Structure 1
Amino acid sequence: MATRSKSTLHIRCGQDIEQALQEAGMEGDFLDFSDPYCQGPVRGIAHADFLVERSAFIASAYGIDPAEVTARQSRRYEALRHAHDYDTITLWFEHDHFDQLILAHVLNHFADLSSLPEIDLVCVDDYPVLPRFTGLGQLGPSDLKAVWEKRVRVTQDHIRLGKEVWCALTMATPNMLATIAHAGTPAVPPMAGAIDRHLDELPSSRHGLGLTETLSLRILAEKGVISAGAMFSQLMLRYETRPYLGDLMYWHELDRLVRGGAAEVVTAGKTYAQNMLRLTELGERILTAGEDWLDYMPEPRFVGGVEIAPSKPHWRRFPKGNIKLVE
């Protein structure tokens, strides 16, 4: 198996497999291109403004120093800009919408180039690991070799799909993204399901909650008083069909529920993970559709390019996946 090259770039949305790739003998440079498009604004604006807006969101939402975030994001986007300097590129992604939306951006980036290096895609939606497959970070060196053997060569069909999905994601309306998910994405089969899961973060027609918010309140309703860390574990192992959140990302979701009064911190811990939470009476009424969460949500939020603002017309997801604008 030829796995050695002096001019190979491995692109992954995280550092979770970097060491294992080295141990597997997969030589080359490694680019961690991570920007969690599954949270915060992802709008179709000028690139410089886009970077400023994304960096500001990441710093604020995850409690990271703004200068550190800006520098890191600038390095990542600049490195992607020079990716075509390599002879070969391997893209390593899994099936959740954290990964798939980043993959769409990476493929869209290559759409603007007049000539491309050889690009391979490793896209994994399942693997026999316990308790269940949630991501490539679970795989060891031999496993990564096995999935690499099943890589596919990126073609213009992949590039076109990436461009189409990225354009739809950055729109202020979700219709085109929903159309893509409904039609399917044969070039990258897991992408359609990932888009559909992303659209589940739109407010439900029933109670105004996105799916992550709904699952979080269900956990509180079932468990009573529970730590934030235990909630995160329950979400990953039992409730979420396509786990995509990191812990800092999940604290951002929980904090919004607390500030809006749907959940409350009973005992503050030394870390956010140690905070003990419970469902409030308001949270119970919202969960049972007696109240609308958008009447209490503490500030507007974004699902890709779609802004959810209580005081304005907003998009809601109805049963069977229908999406409508509600005045």
Structure 2
Amino acid sequence: MTPRLHLRCGDDLRCRLQRAGIAGEYLCFADPVCCGPAQDDGDLMAWLGMRARYVALHSGQDLAAVRLRLGREYTALGGLHRREAIWLWFEHDLWDQAALIRILSLLAEKRLLRGKLLLVPADGARCFPELSDGELAALQPAPLTDLQIEQAAEAWDAFAAPDPGALDALSRRELALPHLAAAMRRHLRDLPWTTDGLGEAERAVLRAVAAGAADEAAVFRAVGRADPAFHLTDLMVREVVGRLRLGPKRLVTPAAPLRPTPRGAAVLAGTERHRPAPRAHGGISVLPDPPWLWDPATAGTRRGA
């Protein structure tokens, strides 16, 4: 057996764990599955191609390099059974919870991993890098139960489905993974709303622009950490701003400084409704006349057009 492995959806703990005296090797799983398309029919090669195209397009990276990196990360998951233990460092927010259920969906049937997958506890408020070295060293991971792994795989199937009904129902249950339900509901809240056609992140960005955020950096400062369930990164802000700038009925001015267009101001005022550009939201298709909506009156999804 090879030593303990720390598995994390980013590189932000690679040096911190060593400094805190926490032994083990480190594996970064950096596929941002909470963003973009997540249609999954079980064909890993097709999945890697789809995700590489999305990540390369929205990060400005070379497609071949992204495909190679994602391939290495997913391939490494297949060798985890050779480890004595795998510590899973995933927090409460949507980015981490989506990555966690993606990983566990791929590992759910690997019996040699039973008892080796240990979840490091997150407090539901702070990110792990915000903890002191002493606080990190004091964390005691617990082995994942069969029920937790099964529910994670169930959640992934629902996340990747074209109909959000199963994910909506799952997010209303009391789940064995403590932060999963809230994260999945936050994902659903980025569907177009019945009230104005905006998803939650789009509305936050448009409000920040209306309040005077004149460029993407200012928007990021305004909204990046404002949402405890989904911390928007700078690249996410860029994507949302880009969406709101699209088309003849754009909500934000196409050139700097950023300002709401008259239509954007009307949507914020509730006198007009946004028609979103086509995009993939997990397994769900968002269209100008959305087939699925988030209804804040019922705090749930419903059919649209």
Normalised TM-score (structure 1)? 0.87
One of 287, 290, 294 as aligned partner of 1:309:
287
Of residues 207, 216, 221, the one that matches 1:233 is 221
- Structure 1: which 5+ residue stretches go unaligned? 128-132, 268-275
- Tell me if 1:216 matches 2:205: yes
Aligned residue type for 1:219: A
1:273: which partner in 2?
none
Alignment check: 8 A CA contact 2:209 2:258 kept: yes
Task: State the alpha-carbon separation in 2 of the partners of residues 123 and 66 from structure 1.
Answer: 35
RMSD: 1.7
Which residues in structure 2 correspond to 1:42-191 (within 5 Å)? 42-45=38-41, 46-116=43-113, 118-126=116-124, 133=126, 135-146=127-138, 148-149=139-140, 151-185=141-175, 187-191=176-180
Give aligned-pair identity as a percent.
32
2:222 is equivalent to residue 250 of structure 1 = no
The 8 Å contact of residues 20 and 140 in structure 1, kept in 2 or not, is answered as: no
Q: 1:262 aligns with which of 251, 260, 273?
A: 251
Structure with more of its chain in strand, by fraction: 1
Preserved CA contact (<8 Å) 2:219 2:237: no
Q: Are the aligned partners of 1:125 and 1:190 in contact in 2 as well (CA < 8 Å)?
A: no
Q: 1:42-92 CA distances to partner (integer Å, 9 max, x unpaired)?
A: 012222111111110111122211111111111110111211211111000
What's the secondary structure of 1:233's corresponding residue? helix
Residue in 1 that maps onto 2:303: 325
The Cα shift of 1:244 comes to 2.6
Q: Is the 8 A contact 1:98 1:245 kept in 2?
A: no
Larger mean CA deviation between 247-256 and 11-20 belongs to: 247-256
1:10-39: per-residue Cα shift (whole Å, max 9, x none)?
100000011010111222211101211111
Residue 137 of structure 1, CA deviation: 2.2
> Are the counterparts in 2 of residues 62 and 249 from structure 1 also a CA contact under 8 Å?
no
Question: 1:286-305: CA deviations, max 9, x gaps?
Answer: 222322222xx3x4112210
Cα-to-partner distance string for 1:181-224 (whole Å, 9 max, x where unaligned): 11121x1111110001011111000111110001111112222x
- The total of aligned residue pairs comes to 300
Alpha-carbon distance in structure 1 between the residues aligned to 2:132 and 2:12: 10
Indicate if the aligned counterparts of 1:6 and 1:28 stay in contact, CA closer than 8 A: no
Q: Deviations over 1:146-196 (max 9, x none)?
A: 2x22x22111011111111011011110000010111121x1111110001
Residue 266 of structure 1: CA displacement?
4.7
Q: TM-score, normalised by structure 2?
A: 0.93
Q: Which amino acid is the alignment partner of residue 51 of structure 1?
A: L
